[in-house]
Amino acid sequence: MFNEGMLKEGALAGQTIIVTGGGTGLGKAMGTYFLQLGANLVITSRKIEVLEKAAGEMRQQTGGRVLPIACDVRDYAAIEQVIAAAVAEFGRVNGLLNNAAGNFVSPTERLSANAFSTVIDIVLKGTTNFSLAMGKHWIKEKQAGTFLNITTTYAFTGSGYVVPSATAKAGVLALTRSLAVEWAKYQIRTNAIAPGPFPTKGAWSRLLPGKLAKKLDPVQRIPVGRVGEHQELANLAAYLMSDYSAFVNGEVITIDGGEWLKGAGEFNMMEAVSPKMWDMFALMRKKK
């Protein structure tokens, strides 16, 4: 069921959506579903060969129109060129999915200043760069638009060992809530999704390298007992991109099977108490 597309056929018909980091992982999954729903797609990232291969696969799978363009989100001028190329190809842009990210695990004290900045530059500055260029364009052209930003659940809580990413994603959340209010007057909506674990090569190879994936199996922390399926995330993203969510603005929707709350709730570790032990506690209480 959760592997099925959820929205009506044609829910994004005629819309053009730019997806940063759209050639791999979650960006590719969300973009493919946008195409299935009738959107035109622009996918960007640094590696044109990856983008072109992904675009070919997406066209074959959906019959949709996909424009792959190389663009480093740290380069504001290159972003302006992506927007111009998208307009030249499709006439206008309706939505931007800020999905590109960089991340790795490391004790913070082992990071160089450049390592810290690299993640901040891709995740936070990349998202602000693209949002600023896109927003200026929409405001100048008097066009409505929709931003969707991909953050993480540790944007709320912080997290050790991914401190540059946590710092940057928290900034993306603040950006989301700020622009949602300021730019609503221009008919620009801004929302975010905070995914929990959704296996991808890009994230798993960097965050759970070597034998860590087995040793620190994320499923152990997830109350629903499984990781996310890409289509589940794509369904949520398509809803937030579509006009069905026209009254949703400034929201961050968590999709993590209850993972972060399990870590947060003071007594959730009581999960480890067996029914037999609960019976014993009840007896002790009655005796008292």
What amino acid positions are annotated as catalytic residues? Answer: 154
Q: Is 75 helix (H, G, I), strand (E, B) or coil?
A: coil
In 3D, which of 147, 27, 53 has the Cα closest to residue 93?
147
Half-sphere exposure (Cβ direction) of 128: Cα atoms closer than 13 Å: 13
Candidates 3, 114, 220, 274; binder of ligand HXC (CB under 6 A) is 114
Nearest CB to ligand HXC, comparing residues 104 and 186: 104
Q: Which does 35 bind (CB under 5 to 8 A by kind): ligand HXC, ligand NAP, none?
A: none
Alpha helical stretches, state H, the chain: 25-36, 48-62, 76-90, 113-120, 126-141, 154-157, 163-182, 201-207, 212-215, 230-241, 259-264, 275-287
The H helix count followed by the E strand count for the chain is 12, 7
72 binds, among ligand NAP, ligand HXC, none (CB under 5 to 8 A by kind): ligand NAP
Closest by alpha carbon to 35, among 16, 49, 51?
A: 16
- Which residues, including other chains, have CB under 8 Å from residue 113's CB and lie 6 or more apart? none
Residue 115 found at the interface with ligand HXC (CB under 6 A): yes
Task: Give the whole-angstrom CA distance, residue 251 versus residue 232.
Answer: 18
Residues of this chain, 40-59, that bind ligand NAP according to CB under 6 A: 45-47, 50
The reply on whether position 165 binds ligand HXC by CB under 6 A is yes
**x/- string (CB under 6 A) for ligand HXC, residues 179-218?**
-----------------xx----xx--xx-----------
C-beta atoms surrounding 189 within 10 Å: 25
From 9-17, 195-203, 239-247, 278-286, give the range in contact with ligand NAP by CB under 6 A: 195-203
Does position 222 interact with ligand HXC (CB under 6 A)? The reply is: no
Q: Which of 12, 16, 19, 24 binds ligand NAP (CB under 6 A)?
A: 24
- Tell me if 83 contacts ligand NAP by CB under 6 A: no
d(CA 35, CA 15): 10
Contacts of residue 98, defined as CB under 8 A and 6 or more positions apart, other chains included, come to: 20, 126, 127, 130, 131, 147, 148, 149, 150, 172
Return the number of other C-beta atoms located less than 10 Å from residue 109's C-beta: 6
- Among positions 50, 85, 111, 144, the unique one binding ligand HXC when judged by CB under 6 A: 111
68 is a site residue for ligand NAP (CB under 6 A): no
Position 226 contacts ligand NAP (CB under 6 A): no
Query: Which of ligand HXC, ligand NAP, none lies near 115, with the C-beta cut-off 5 to 8 A by kind?
Result: ligand HXC
Return the C-alpha torsion angle 79, 89, 95, 9, nearest 10.
Answer: -150
Regarding 122 and contact with ligand NAP (CB under 6 A), the answer is: yes
Using CB under 6 A as the criterion, which residues of the chain lie in contact with ligand HXC when the complex forms?
A: 101-104, 106, 111-112, 114-115, 118-119, 152, 165, 196-197, 202-203, 206-207
Contact residues for ligand NAP (CB under 6 A)?
Answer: 20-21, 23-27, 45-47, 50, 72-74, 99-102, 122, 126, 150, 152, 195, 197-198, 200, 202-203
